[in-house]
Amino acid sequence: MKCKEASAVLIIRVGDAFCRSCFKEYFVHKFRAMLGKNRVVFPGEKVLLAYSGGPSSNAMVQQVQEGLSRDAPKKLRFIPGILFIDEGAVCNQSWEDRERTMSEIENILKATSFPFHILSLEQLFTLPQTMLQMNLAEIPKRDGSYKQAVGSFLGQQKAQAEDGVSDAADRLTQIHIADNSSVECSQSAAFSRPAAEHTAALRDMFNSAKTLTAKQELLHLLRNHLILHVARTHGYSKVMSGESCTRLAVRLLSNISLGRGAFLPLDTGFSDNRYGDVVIVRPMRDYSLKEISFYNRLFNVPSVFIPALDTKASGNSSIQHLSESFITKLQADFPSTVSTVYRTSEKLHVSRTDTTQPKNQQDKCLLCMCTLDTHTGPASAFFATQKSQQLSEKKSLKNVPSAKDSEKQCCNGGQCCKESASCTNSVTGTQDIVHLLCYSCRVTIKDLNSMDKLPSYILKEAEHRTRRMEMRKEIEEFLLDDHSEDI
Amino acid sequence: MPINCSSCETQRAVLRRPKTGHSVCKECFFRAFEEEIHHTIVSAQLFQPGEKVGIGASGGKDSTVLAHVLKVLNERYNYGLELILVSVDEGISGYRDDSLETVKRNQQQYELPLKIVSYQELYGWTMDQIVKQVGLKNNCTFCGVFRRQALDRGAMMLGVNKICTGHNADDIAETVLMNFLRGDIARLRRCTAITTGSEGAIPRCKPLKYAYEKEIVLYAYFKKLDYFSTECIYSPNAYRGHARAFLKDLEALRPSAIMDIIHSGENLSVKEDVKMPVQGTCTRCGYISSQGLCKACVLLEGLNRGLPKLGIGKHHKLHHKLLAQEPLSEAETRKLKSIDF
Ligand SMILES: [Zn+2]
Ligand SMILES: [Zn+2]
Ligand SMILES: [Zn+2]
Ligand SMILES: [Zn+2]
Ligand SMILES: [Zn+2]
């Protein structure tokens, strides 16, 4: 028992009993400590809270509110906004059901008084091709320390106070108002229904995935694209994502199984800078799901149940789902499982190869946007797999070294690549996308029946990158060093 | 309706490759399976011409197939290796008889020399004698540690340059998962390496690293290779059991998962400031060890002093006493003597 006064309401670990107010203090402190320790969220910075409606993201929103409130002794100083993405179409929900969920979400978000965005996953079909390009030039330069940033923020605030703008709270309101005029983000009770053709296209795309594993992975990748897009277009330079350590332990195991070993630190670490200009942070990663549900129950934090892709699926229907039931079962037998896995991940970091490799080996995966992990030597699982493929395939295909999947439609017409490898108008061929992907995204894409179902911003960018690579190959001998442009 | 082989397109396919899903004929499967192992050997530069290579032979499917394939490839591609089968006899009555018989038959079929090293010869104790002293509950610690070293010690006696073991892709993937779940970062980093061991110890390599267990069985089945199933007769460690079950479920969902996990393991990058145990060598036997005394020597010391618990818990503090051949205090002795069954 922490204090000797009140009576205990819960026990987190053996010997750790809390009364209500001590638990609140513990919980609130943990959030600030996480942000304070990592010092990546700067004062005055616009931060987008990626909100799913679940317990963990509700607790996160609540912590941000708590931290921004005036009486908080160690006040947080960033400027939040909230994003909810409705994925109902993927789960075959009716528009009425989706609308109901969204208005439930809207009521919760309205109560926060933060600006918020509610949009449907169908928006993917309106994203621009530039979406997947790295805008390194636009990455705000943060020279100087966190301390300096805090100092200059406070100075600015003081100046504003003198100008009659009292404090950040007022600026928040301003942003709130400004955001109301935003076109694509729904703020009114009637949610604009996505175009029927987009809903159909989205369903088509997910139906073309042969496995639930690939569907879940695809959803995760595409949802991230949409979050990134909203962050960029609204000037948010940070995104807060609310995964608990329980969730992250599951993701770690699942991602190892999906071949994402090289990216574990990005996929699960506190901060994830793969996009360059927008950084993802995960401030809830020190909380267990158990702590979060206790907190939410004790302090009436709302939560919305939203059916997911795997809601009705059985325990071993996908790799992600299997990982979840496995961790849950193991945690029951060995209560330290989650924390052990989580601590293991803390000891990993992103491969250092990035800067020492030639430029073309620093290319980013078209889908997950991590630095490609396919430049392994011949003594690797990646090459061994290709070797196995080659050795089991038709002899007639063996002479064309990289024509693995070209039996599927590679050009619009579908025929010309069969004979020659010099087809130039191959737009949506598996091959053209595959070589732009990391190991794991290749495995995911292999489970899709058809590439053409992917949103056009992906297909167009694939085409663009392929063209740039061909150009680079053509002029290679004239380039003086490895300093080619980003593709 | 018979399907044609996806590789030669002329023969009838007789099996579907667990690794790739292709339907292939027997000959094409043999060729692909062998060529893949050849590719592994060449790309990882496992051997140098003229080397004497010991093959850890247990009579089980992995080592039987390994011995067979190495023999074939050594001739087909002129590796120039001197191959020798090395078997360990733990001295468990009844348990090894059949498997050692299998190894002896393999020796004749493959015309490879065979050396059987016994625990009695290596440690002065048979496994049966050890079980009598420590009880069934703890003997797996002994059998794991002793077995790992037995091969090295045997190989050293034979003047071998390298040892090959039959670890397959499933074993490696399982080990990645297990080390990850246990948080063993040092092992996690090492476990996907195709060759392990440096100064002091004889390098070990795993030519079957990318071969699926199911394909190894298929190969043995169609080649009519003779093998004996030698699972450890004692219960495996709990985490490994869980990891194995999980891997089987994964493979059922997505056959490439085994390779995908190995790829993950090969590309994990450990932070530099994470403390790694320094690899030294055992002052008594010269085997690689992070402590002054290796685990086997500590276990042996315990057996010889009649204190079987010595090697089971963590008793690093006592190592200097053991090294100096000093007697232990009464309290220390009391703690180590009792063994719960
Ligand atoms: Zn209290
Ligand atoms: Zn990727
Ligand atoms: Zn064939
Ligand atoms: Zn055992
Ligand atoms: Zn030793």
Over residues B187-205, mean pLDDT? 80
d(CA A285, CA A266): 13
Low-confidence winner among B55-69, B150-164, B190-204, B239-253 (lowest mean pLDDT): B190-204
Over residues A228-244, mean pLDDT? 96
Over residues B72-100, mean pLDDT? 87
Phi, psi for A390 (deg, rounded to 5): -55, -45
The amino acid occupying position B146 is F
Domains, chain B, in order of start with CATH, read 41-266 (3.40.50.620), 280-335 (no CATH)
Question: A286, B221 in Cβ contact below 8 A?
Answer: no
Chain B residues near residue A248 by CB distance under 8 angstroms = none
More confident residue, A355 or A43: A43
Sign of CA dihedral A28, A34, A39, A45: negative
d(CA A261, CA B265): 6
Which of A252, A255, A316 shows the shortest C-beta gap to B253? A316
**pLDDT higher than threshold 70 for residue A173:** no
Chain B residues near residue A347 by CB distance under 8 angstroms = 185, 270-271, 274
Write out the binding residues of B.
Answer: 56-58, 62, 88, 166, 171
Domains, chain A, in order of start with CATH, read 10-143+152-352 (3.40.50.620)
**Which residue, among A219, A239, A199, has the nearest Cα to A83 in the 3D structure?**
A239
Sign of CA dihedral B88, B94, B99, B102: positive
ipTM here: 0.85
Question: What are the distances in angstroms from CA A382 to CA A374, A387, B39, B128?
Answer: 7, 9, 13, 44
The amino acid occupying position B157 is M
More confident residue, A17 or A159: A17
**pLDDT higher than threshold 50 for residue A182:** no
Q: What is the pTM of this model?
A: 0.86
Tokens of B59: 């009579």
- What's residue A150's pLDDT? 63
**pLDDT higher than threshold 70 for residue A180:** no
For B155-189, the pLDDT digits (tens) are 888 899 999 999 999 999 999 999 999 888 888 88
Over residues A474-481, mean pLDDT? 79
d(CA A454, CA B315): 59
- What's residue A70's pLDDT? 67
Chain B residues near residue A343 by CB distance under 8 angstroms = 183
- What's residue B302's pLDDT? 83
In the stretch 258-287 of chain B, residues with CB closer than 8 A to chain A read 259-271, 274
Choose the most confident range, by mean pLDDT, from A107-111, A142-146, A175-179, A419-423.
A107-111
For A437-447, the pLDDT digits (tens) are 999 999 999 99
Mean of all residue pLDDT scores within chain B: 84
More confident residue, A69 or A3: A69
More confident residue, A128 or B328: A128
Q: Is A449 helix (H, G, I), strand (E, B) or coil?
A: coil
Return the exposure string of B283-319: e unless at least 16 CB atoms fall within 10 Å of the residue's CB, then b.
ebbebbbeebbbbbbbbbbbbeeebbbbbbeebeebb
Q: The tokens 């002795």 sit on which residue?
A: B333
- Indicate yes or no: CB of B43 within 8 angstroms of CB of A340: no
Over residues A102-130, mean pLDDT? 94
Confidence of residue A158 (pLDDT cuts 50, 70, 90): low
- What's residue A410's pLDDT? 41
- What's residue A86's pLDDT? 96
- What's residue A296's pLDDT? 96
- What's residue B318's pLDDT? 65
For A375-415, the pLDDT digits (tens) are 888 999 999 999 999 999 876 554 444 434 433 334 433 34
**Which residue, among A313, A426, A436, A321, has the nearest Cα to A372 in the 3D structure?**
A436
Q: What percent of chain A has pLDDT over 90?
A: 55
Over residues A243-267, mean pLDDT? 95
**Count of Cβ atoms closer than 10 Å to residue A283 Cβ:** 26
Query: Residue B86's beta-bridge partner residues?
Result: B56, B115
More confident residue, A416 or A283: A283
d(CA A238, CA B205): 46
**pLDDT higher than threshold 90 for residue A367:** yes
**pLDDT higher than threshold 90 for residue A242:** yes
**Count of Cβ atoms closer than 10 Å to residue A265 Cβ:** 20
- What's residue B92's pLDDT? 76
- Indicate yes or no: CB of B7 within 8 angstroms of CB of A351: no
* Closest-CA distance of chain B to residue A394, Å: 4
Q: The tokens 């092992």 sit on which residue?
A: B187
**Which residue, among B314, B308, B303, B312, has the nearest Cα to B337 in the 3D structure?**
B308
Tokens of B319: 């190592």
Question: A466, A427 in Cβ contact below 8 A?
Answer: no
Cα-to-centroid distance, B97 and ligand 4 (Å): 17
In the stretch 98-137 of chain B, residues with CB closer than 8 A to chain A read none
Question: A365, A438 in Cβ contact below 8 A?
Answer: yes
- What's residue A402's pLDDT? 44
Confidence of residue B287 (pLDDT cuts 50, 70, 90): confident
Judge whether B208 is closer than 8 Å to chain A, CB to CB: no
Query: Residue A49's beta-bridge partner residues?
Result: A82, A240
Over residues A292-305, mean pLDDT? 93
Mean of all residue pLDDT scores within chain A: 81
- What's residue A153's pLDDT? 63
For B222-233, the pLDDT digits (tens) are 999 988 765 554
Which residues are CB-neighbours of A216 under 8 A, at least 6 positions away?
Answer: A309, A310, A318, A320, A321
Question: What are the distances in angstroms from CA B252 to CA A260, A298, A445, B29?
Answer: 19, 42, 19, 21
